């Protein structure tokens, strides 16, 4: 199972959605360490949301191989 987690960029102008494999640590598929913030939904006024392309690539690969 996978879940999405949003992380704000440094200037909080964007939210980046990463894919996290449940049952592992909070490390996303792209390997970028996420900031360990409280497990609440981000309440950020980000202007832009987008998906992490590295996570998406890894996610589609994982789906195909399962």
**Which residues make up the interface to Zn ion (CB under 5 A)?**
18, 28, 30, 52, 55
Q: Is the dihedral of CA 51, 53, 54, 57 positive or negative?
A: positive
Q: Which is nearer to Zn ion, 44 or 56 (CB)?
A: 56
Would you say 8 and 22 are in contact if contact means Cβ atoms under 8 Å apart? Answer: no
Q: Which is nearer to Zn ion, 13 or 33 (CB)?
A: 33
Minimum Å gap between C-beta 9 and Zn ion is 12
Which DSSP helix (H) or strand (E) runs through 56?
Answer: helix 53-65
Minimum Å gap between C-beta 39 and Zn ion is 18
């Amino acid at each position: 199972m996978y879940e999405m987690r949003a992380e704000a960029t440094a200037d909080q102008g964007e939210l980046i959605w990463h894919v996290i494999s449940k049952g592992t640590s909070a490390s996303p598929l792209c390997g970028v360490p996420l900031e360990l913030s409280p497990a609440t939904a981000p309440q950020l006024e980000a202007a832009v949301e987008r998906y992490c392309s590295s996570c998406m690539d890894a996610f589609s690969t994982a789906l195909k191989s399962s």
